[in-house]
């Protein structure tokens, strides 16, 4: 694609971001079932996201970007996720990589990398997996680093322009984190993701053979000690996941309600003429809503705390970071439970006719089930219980 086209498309949408996201979601929804069945790389749909102008939302105004608030950005994630959670996943992870530069990068790195992303309307991907030590970092005599190995679960990396990348440095038993062009010699991104859900998240493997990392590309050198503000990235990861889980739950809930109102038939012994008048259906739907509503409320509360913490920047204290971590954990716990229940019980509500394959209603459960395996929920609940009993906030890690 020509640079002039990139420049034209990098201009932020003139209409509010939420309105742009709704129009994009409506387009994606038309082919969501078919694409979920097919899986693979959704190049055309990723281009639609690129052309929407929404990729620049997370670029600060001082760099020349829209400087949108995270509340607004994450709202667009939720809107897209109800229509297509896989592409919303990639879109959210793009903004997470932009945020990573703001969490970890110097002023000059932010200006350079985010400025380039704005100018070229870049789509960013993730090859940062802190549990995967198979990508080995070696120090070179000239001060650069070399990466070799294989990494899994690289969401959004296929088709990306830039990558946030990590590798394991054995001498310091720590990670190196860097920002590199996806076209860098020695990087191979594979289209080999075969999950039962989130099938178009491009979450396959990445191979690194002799990949050179320049000193100016390093966001965190081996042995780097992260500030409370820098560890806020993990809280953002969990908020994004909570939004995806809750949005899938809302999509399943909305689908169930419409089906009941428009197509469902009452059970023969129900004594009612319409399925919506069946008291068992009414109670079951109400219980699902009573799980979804608090999840949505808690997500809003956690986003507000995250927004305030992000605004504090390097002045953020460990105690303030802990408050965000607890709120994000609460949101993720509630959203995971609500999403799984709504996407599973929808079939009990709608009946046998809803299980026809061409309807694709199983995608809601498959998507939420797959993505909720990111990290064990039991440990989130443990963190919450520990905080309730002793006031101890979660120790900042890549998963807490």
pLDDT tens per residue, range 259-280: 999 999 998 899 999 999 999 9
Half-sphere exposure (Cβ direction) of 267: Cα atoms closer than 13 Å = 11
Q: What is the pLDDT of residue 363?
A: 98
- Is pLDDT at 176 greater than 80 in this prediction? yes
- Is pLDDT at 324 greater than 80 in this prediction? yes
Contact 328, 238 (CB under 8 A): yes
CA distance 100 to 162: 12
Angle between helices 85-104 and 43-51 (to 10 degrees): 60
Tokens of 144: 């650069």
Q: Please, which pLDDT band fits residue 327 given cuts at 50, 70 and 90?
A: very high
Average pLDDT over residues 1-17: 47
CA distance 107 to 125: 21
Give the rounded percent of residues in the chain with a pLDDT score beyond 70.
Answer: 96
Q: What is the pLDDT of residue 282?
A: 97
CA distance 64 to 119: 9
Q: What is the pLDDT of residue 207?
A: 97
pLDDT digits (tens, 9 = 90+) for 178-212: 999 999 999 999 999 999 999 999 999 999 999 99
Q: Which of 73, 70, 38, 67 is nearest to 54 (CA)?
A: 73
Average pLDDT over residues 35-46: 97
Phi then psi dihedrals of residue 206, to 5 deg = -130, 135
Average pLDDT over residues 74-101: 98
Mean pLDDT over each residue of the chain, to the nearest integer? 94
Environment class of 388 (CB within 10 Å of its CB; exposed 0-12, middle 13-18, buried 19+): exposed
The secondary structure of 79-136 as a DSSP string is HHHHH-HHHHHHHHHHHHHHHHHHHH--HHHIIIIIHHHHHHT--EEEE--TT---SE
SS3 string, 207-259, reads: EEEEEEECHHHEEECCCCCCCCCCCHHHHHHHHHHHHHHHHHHHHHHHHHHHH
pLDDT digits (tens, 9 = 90+) for 139-167: 999 999 999 999 999 999 999 999 999 99
pLDDT digits (tens, 9 = 90+) for 290-313: 999 999 999 999 999 999 999 999
In the chain the domains, ranked by start, together with CATH numbers, are: 3-123 (1.10.540.10), 127-220 (2.40.110.10), 232-390 (1.20.140.10)
Place of tokens 């739950």: 249
Give, as one character, the DSSP assignment of residue 141. T
Give the rounded percent of residues in the chain with a pLDDT score beyond 90.
Answer: 94
DSSP-H helix ranges across the chain: 3-9, 17-29, 32-38, 43-51, 70-83, 85-104, 107-109, 115-120, 232-262, 279-312, 318-350, 362-371, 377-390
Q: Please, which pLDDT band fits residue 281 given cuts at 50, 70 and 90?
A: very high
CA distance 341 to 111: 44
Task: Provide the b/e sequence for 143-171 (b: ≥16 CB within 10 Å).
Answer: eebbbbbebbbbbbbbbbbbbbbbbbbee
CA distance 208 to 185: 9
- What is the three-class DSSP state of 398? coil
Q: What is the pLDDT of residue 14?
A: 55
Q: Which of 155, 63, 53, 207 is nearest to 374 (CA)?
A: 155
- Lowest average pLDDT, out of 24-33, 72-81, 131-140, 201-210, goes to 131-140
């Amino acid at each position: 694609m020509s640079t002039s086209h990139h420049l034209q498309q990098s201009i932020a949408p003139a209409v509010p971001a939420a309105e742009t996201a709704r129009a994009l979601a409506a387009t994606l929804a038309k082919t969501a079932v078919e694409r979920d069945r097919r899986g693979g790389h959704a190049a055309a749909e990723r281009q639609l996201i690129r052309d929407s102008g929404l990729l620049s939302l997370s670029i600060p105004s001082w760099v020349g970007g829209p400087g949108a608030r995270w509340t607004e950005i994450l709202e667009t994630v939720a809107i897209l996720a109800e229509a297509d959670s896989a592409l919303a996943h990639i879109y959210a992870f793009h903004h997470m990589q932009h945020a990573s530069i703001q969490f970890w990068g110097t002023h000059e790195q932010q200006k350079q990398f985010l400025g380039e992303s704005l100018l070229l309307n870049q789509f960013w991907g993730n090859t940062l997996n802190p549990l995967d030590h198979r990508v080995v970092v070696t120090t070179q005599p000239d001060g650069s680093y070399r990466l070799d190995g294989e990494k899994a679960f690289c969401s959004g990396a296929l088709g990306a322009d830039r990558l946030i990348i990590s590798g394991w440095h054995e001498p310091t038993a720590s990670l190196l984190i860097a920002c590199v062009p996806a076209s860098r010699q020695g990087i191979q991104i594979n289209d080999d993701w075969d999950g039962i859900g989130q099938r178009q998240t491009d979450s396959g493997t990445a191979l690194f053979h002799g990949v050179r990392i320049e000193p100016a590309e390093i966001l965190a050198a081996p042995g780097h000690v992260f500030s409370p503000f820098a560890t806020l990235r993990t809280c953002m990861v969990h908020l994004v996941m909570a939004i995806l889980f809750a949005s899938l739950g809302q999509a399943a809930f909305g689908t169930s309600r419409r089906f009941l109102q428009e197509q469902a038939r009452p059970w023969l012994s129900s004594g009612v003429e319409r399925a919506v008048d069946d008291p068992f259906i009414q109670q079951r739907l109400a219980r699902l809503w009573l799980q979804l509503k608090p999840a949505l409320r808690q997500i809003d509360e956690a986003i507000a705390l995250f927004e305030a913490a992000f605004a504090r920047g390097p002045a953020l204290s460990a105690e303030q970071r802990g408050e965000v971590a607890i709120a994000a954990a609460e949101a993720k716990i509630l959203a995971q439970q609500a999403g799984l229940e709504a996407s599973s019980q929808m079939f009990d509500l709608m009946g046998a006719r809803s299980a026809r394959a061409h309807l694709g209603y199983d995608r809601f459960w498959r998507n939420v089930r797959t993505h909720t395996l990111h990290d064990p929920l039991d440990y989130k609940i443990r963190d919450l219980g520990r905080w309730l009993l002793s006031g101890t906030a979660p120790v900042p890690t890549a998963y807490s």
